[in-house]
């Protein structure tokens, strides 16, 4: 049984980790003689696993606008309408986490702690994928050495290969049986020190990376399926982080919204996807994702339009992220990668390989697993699965149906933007936000001012509609 909350000890070690952060990255200009140069492995494990969960949410807080899970209540919001926006805070958070991960890996090597080296490789691969999926080319090979404050940028293709290499190396390290230091279960805030769970997560992330290149000639559905087979077997395997200073950050957004500090409004696209408007079938997950309006209905906010209800926003006539949801409640874990998502990766790869029956079985299991995670009653779950719009049979399964259902499974997860781009935003009824700054859908972010101002090696930012290499 997964250990989710170990507050007292975890926060003791987390505080130590934050206080002892290394100066090994290029954000730090001077050594502080009052700090220990490198924290203990247990403290580094605590801070890196904690930051991984929070950074997943931080990235999703931006990308969820692009896939229209959420919409701004303010008309013409920069993120909502594809304007060039400065995400220095996100860039810095990712690289500061990678600096800690780098230190954990180096210290693990020095101490013969192969378990820690393995976890560090997996966490580094995940963070690197978040960076490259947002910006493309990025510093890595020169990013964590003291010899330069202006590291060069590696290409997207090089970084993708490095992400896969790190996962394979992480798996190999975790399969060793002679680690001089075993994983500290109390300070591993994702898998509680379970090596087998980390190996499954490495394979899940590998399946993601291999499936992401579906537009490229190198795409190999057999390799994707092999990775899936070595990943998760049930919802209990999901990679999650549930230790917070106060509460789940999505719940914080919902709590602020209730106090009229507006945020977390659900998009018309997502709501209509679920409420029967778009597909003619009501998805019972809608009542486990959000709360109904004052009229008992589910109404979303159009992206780019802003609030369409009363001017003072005091009447709940649209829907928001809910503190009552198993995904966004105050103590709900942040899901990094899930079993349900893996079933949809399997469904897509099997479909592309021509195995319709395997694809269909995985498609149904992915829906079932996600509904179980959202605590949908069995009768409602089975009614939805048997609806002819959903339970179409193996012969009638399409990629459109796979992407349609996976869109719900990846709600508030950064991976959803990768899917939207691979799918060319072809979700039913999906449209550009009102008054969009681009003539077509957004494909990348502009490099942040914090990096361009200090690193002359930063490339010029392409137009935000220019695809990344795997999206072409």
Q: What are phi and psi of 195, to 5 degrees?
A: -65, -40
* Burial class of residue 262, CB neighbours in 10 A (0-12, 13-18, 19+): middle
Other residues' Cβ atoms within 10 Å of the Cβ of residue 145: 12
Give the DSSP H or E segment for 265.
strand 265-266
Q: Are 430 and 68 in contact (CB under 8 A)?
A: yes
- Residue 22: which pLDDT band, with cuts at 50, 70 and 90? very low
Q: Are 430 and 279 in contact (CB under 8 A)?
A: no
Kindly list the distances between the CA atom of residue 461 and the CA atoms of 136, 140, 195, 233, 340, in Å, as whole numbers in the listed order: 10, 18, 40, 41, 35
Per-residue pLDDT, averaged over 211-230, amounts to: 98
- The answer, yes or no, to whether residue 467 has pLDDT greater than 80, is yes
* Burial class of residue 134, CB neighbours in 10 A (0-12, 13-18, 19+): buried
- The answer, yes or no, to whether residue 73 has pLDDT greater than 60, is yes
The per-residue pLDDT for 310 is 63
- Distant-in-sequence, close-in-space partners of 460: CB < 8 Å, separation ≥ 6: none
At 10 the three-state DSSP class reads: helix
The per-residue pLDDT for 297 is 96
The per-residue pLDDT for 148 is 86
The per-residue pLDDT for 103 is 97
Cα(254)–Cα(332) distance, integer angstroms: 13
Most distant CA pair in the chain, distance: 67
- Sole residue written with tokens 């959000």: 290
Q: Quick: pLDDT tens for 135-177.
A: 999 999 999 988 889 999 999 999 999 999 999 999 999 999 9
Q: Quick: pLDDT tens for 416-454.
A: 999 999 999 999 999 999 999 999 999 999 999 999 999
The per-residue pLDDT for 65 is 97
Q: Are 128 and 120 in contact (CB under 8 A)?
A: no
The per-residue pLDDT for 313 is 63
Mean pLDDT score of the chain: 92
Q: Record the tokens describing residue 167, joined without a space.
A: 């996962």
The per-residue pLDDT for 25 is 40
* Percentage of the residues of the chain whose pLDDT score is greater than 90: 85
- The answer, yes or no, to whether residue 214 has pLDDT greater than 90, is yes
Number of DSSP helices (H) and strands (E) in the chain, helices first: 16, 4
The per-residue pLDDT for 36 is 52
- Sole residue written with tokens 């997560």: 201
- Sole residue written with tokens 């931080």: 58
The per-residue pLDDT for 261 is 75
- The answer, yes or no, to whether residue 222 has pLDDT greater than 90, is yes
- Sole residue written with tokens 């293709």: 157
Kindly list the distances between the CA atom of residue 342 and the CA atoms of 45, 121, 180, 338, in Å, as whole numbers in the listed order: 26, 21, 33, 6
Cα(446)–Cα(453) distance, integer angstroms: 13
| pTM for the whole structure | 0.92
The per-residue pLDDT for 358 is 98
Per-residue pLDDT, averaged over 384-405, amounts to: 98
The per-residue pLDDT for 147 is 81
The per-residue pLDDT for 11 is 38
Other residues' Cβ atoms within 10 Å of the Cβ of residue 31: 10
At CA 434, angle to CA 467 and CA 311, rounded to 5? 140
HSE value, Cβ hemisphere, 13 Å, CA-based, for 28 = 17
**Lowest mean pLDDT segment, chosen from 34-43, 124-133, 335-344, 458-467:** 34-43
Q: What are phi and psi of 294, to 5 degrees?
A: -65, -20
- Sole residue written with tokens 């009363």: 310
- The answer, yes or no, to whether residue 24 has pLDDT greater than 80, is no
- Distant-in-sequence, close-in-space partners of 138: CB < 8 Å, separation ≥ 6: 128, 131, 132, 153, 154, 159
Per-residue pLDDT, averaged over 208-235, amounts to: 98
């Amino acid at each position: 049984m997964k250990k989710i909350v170990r507050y007292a000890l975890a926060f003791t070690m987390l505080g130590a980790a934050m206080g002892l952060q290394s100066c090994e990255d290029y954000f730090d200009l001077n050594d502080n003689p009052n700090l220990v140069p490198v924290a203990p492995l247990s403290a580094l494990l605590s801070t890196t696993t904690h930051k991984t969960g929070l950074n997943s949410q931080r990235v999703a807080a931006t990308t969820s606008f692009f896939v229209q899970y959420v919409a701004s209540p303010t008309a013409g919001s920069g993120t909502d309408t594809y304007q060039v926006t400065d995400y220095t805070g996100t860039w810095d958070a990712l690289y500061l986490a990678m600096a800690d991960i780098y230190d954990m890996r180096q210290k693990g090597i020095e101490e013969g702690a192969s378990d820690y080296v393995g976890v560090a490789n997996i966490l580094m691969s995940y963070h690197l994928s978040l960076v490259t999926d947002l910006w493309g080319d990025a510093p890595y090979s020169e990013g964590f050495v003291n010899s330069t404050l202006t590291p060069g940028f590696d290409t997207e293709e090089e970084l993708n290969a490095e992400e896969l290499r790190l996962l394979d190396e992480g798996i190999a390290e975790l399969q060793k049986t002679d680690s001089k230091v075993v994983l500290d279960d109390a300070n591993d805030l994702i898998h509680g020190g379970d090596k087998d769970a980390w190996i499954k997560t490495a394979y899940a992330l590998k399946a993601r990376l291999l499936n992401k290149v579906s537009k490229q000639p190198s795409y190999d559905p057999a390799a994707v399926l092999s990775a899936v087979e070595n990943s998760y077997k049930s919802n209990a395997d999901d990679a999650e982080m549930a230790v917070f200073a106060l509460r789940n950050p999505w719940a914080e957004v919902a709590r602020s919204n209730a106090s009229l500090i507006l945020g977390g409004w659900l998009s018309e696209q997502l709501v209509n996807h679920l409420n029967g408007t778009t597909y003619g079938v009501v998805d019972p997950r809608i009542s486990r994702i959000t709360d109904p309006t004052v009229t008992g209905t589910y109404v979303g906010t159009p992206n780019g339009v802003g609030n369409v209800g009363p001017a003072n926003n005091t009447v709940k006539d649209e829907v928001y992220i809910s503190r009552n949801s198993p995904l966004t409640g105050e103590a709900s874990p942040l899901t990094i990668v899930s079993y349900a998502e893996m079933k949809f990766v399997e469904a897509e790869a099997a479909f592309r390989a021509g195995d319709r029956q395997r694809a269909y079985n995985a498609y149904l299991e992915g829906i079932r697993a996600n509904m179980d995670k959202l605590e949908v009653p069995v009768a409602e779950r089975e009614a939805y699965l048997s609806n002819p719009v959903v339970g179409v049979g193996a012969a009638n399964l399409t990629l459109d149906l796979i992407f349609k259902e996976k869109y719900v499974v990846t709600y508030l997860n950064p991976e959803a933007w990768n899917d939207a781009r691979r799918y060319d935003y072809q979700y039913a009824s999906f449209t550009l936000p009102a008054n969009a700054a681009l003539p077509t859908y957004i494909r990348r972010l502009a490099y942040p001012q914090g990096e361009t101002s200090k690193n002359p090696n930063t490339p010029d930012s392409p137009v935000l509609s220019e695809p990344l290499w795997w999206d072409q």
